[in-house]
Amino acid sequence: MKLAPRARKAVLTAHIVSSGAWIGIDVLVAVLVGVGLGGSDAARGLALRALAEFVVAPMLVSGLVCLASGLLLGLATRWGLVRYWWVAVKLVMNVVLCVLIVVALQPGMAEVGAAGVAIEAGEVPVADLSNLVFPPAVSLTVLAAATVLSVHKPWGRVRPRSPRPSGRASEARPTVVV
Ligand code: HEM
């Protein structure tokens, strides 16, 4: 499968926009977590409820659009999916982050929302919220690394090409001088 140049540019644009949106949502999460842990009680409650209500779905959608457009770019261009290290590593990063959103972030959001409601009611939340710093820290670090890989495209091919035979076999043999 090959993409025509215009189609490739359209998919690449979707890929860059979705990865940028993903990073932007992570920055928003970092801000909400910061306010949720260290703001005034009113701001903490609001930030934690906003985190629980509005963040996971757009984050997962941007992650999946980034993954789908990346898969298409890999499959339909010379880069391949596991032909070059920089693409293969990004594939692993993207899949791991999307799985973490579903299995680690989403299940805790009800508790985070309940903590926000409790703080607004003047109560002490039951949940330990300190772990909330990890999702934006991990995700922003991995996405920044993926962006660096995308720009620099380091490490070359996963399986280096075998050298082409140069000339006939007899020519390649060393000359024996008697
Ligand atoms: C982990 C999140 C990802 C981020 C932040 C990201 C970011 C980017 C960026 C900024 C570019 C543009 C680079 C340039 O034009 O110089 C790019 C290109 C590319 N990405 Fe990703 N990407 C991600 C995931 C993926 C995945 C999962 C794949 C494939 C499995 C992939 C495959 C590609 C390919 C093949 C290109 C080059 C397209 C071309 O020039 O034809 N990316 N990526």
Give me the pLDDT at residue 54, please.
96
Q: Which two tokens stand for residue 122?
A: 């003047």
- Asked if the model's pLDDT at residue 178 lies above 70, the reply is no
Is the distance from CB of 39 to CB of 47 less than 8 angstroms? yes
Q: What is the DSSP string of 62-114?
A: HHHHHHHHHHHHHHHSTTTTTTBHHHHHHHHHHHHHHHHIIIIIGGGHHHHHH
State the distance from the centre of ligand 1 to the C-alpha of 111, rounded, in angstroms: 35
Q: What percent of the chain has pLDDT over 70?
A: 92
CB of 139 closer than 6 A to ligand 1? no
Q: Where are the domains of the chain?
A: 5-152
CB of 65 closer than 6 A to ligand 1? no
Name the residue at shortest CA distance from atom 26 of ligand 1: 70
> What is the arithmetic mean of pLDDT over 26-37?
98
- Asked if the model's pLDDT at residue 78 lies above 80, the reply is yes
CB of 71 closer than 6 A to ligand 1? yes
Burial group, residue 28, by CB count within 10 angstroms (0-12, 13-18, 19+):
middle
Q: What percent of the chain has pLDDT over 90?
A: 86
Name the residue at shortest CA distance from atom 35 of ligand 1: 74
Q: Which two tokens stand for residue 165?
A: 């035979």
Q: Which amino acid is at 69?
A: S
State the distance from the centre of ligand 1 to the C-alpha of 143, rounded, in angstroms: 11
CB of 74 closer than 6 A to ligand 1? yes
> Can you tell me which atom of ligand 1 is nearest the CA of 95?
27
Mean pLDDT of the chain: 92
166: pLDDT confidence band, cut at 50, 70 and 90?
A: low
Q: Which two tokens stand for residue 163?
A: 């050298």
Distance CA 59, CA 97 (A): 10
CB of 32 closer than 6 A to ligand 1? no
Distance CA 33, CA 60 (A): 18
CB of 106 closer than 6 A to ligand 1? no
CB of 115 closer than 6 A to ligand 1? no
